[in-house]
């Protein structure tokens, strides 16, 4: 019986791809975090994705 990736064992092909081409998932997560931080700075320090409450 073959094991699947969801059974706790590392997936060998993923490790090979990371060695050959870099960890694209980690790089995308880092880029997303940088983009979110930059957006928050541009929006005046409020957290990106969370609307600022305005009082009239």
Q: What is the mean pLDDT of residues 25-45?
A: 93
51 versus 1: which is more confidently predicted? 51
Predicted local distance difference test score (pLDDT) of residue 35: 97
Mean pLDDT value of segment 26-45: 93
pTM assigned to the model: 0.52
CA atoms within 13 Å, Cβ hemisphere of 48: 11
32 pLDDT more than 80: yes
Spans of all domains in the chain: 11-42
Residue that has been written with the tokens 């990736």 in this structure: 5
More confident site: 50 or 20: 20
Lowest-pLDDT range of 5-14, 28-37, 47-56: 47-56
Using CA atoms, how far apart are residues 15 and 2, in angstroms rounded to an integer?
A: 18
């Amino acid at each position: 019986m073959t094991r699947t990736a969801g059974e706790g064992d590392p997936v060998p092909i993923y490790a090979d791809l990371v060695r050959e081409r870099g960890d694209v998932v980690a790089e995308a997560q880092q880029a997303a975090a940088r983009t979110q931080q930059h957006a928050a700075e541009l929006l005046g320090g409020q957290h990106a994705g969370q609307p600022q409450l305005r009082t009239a």
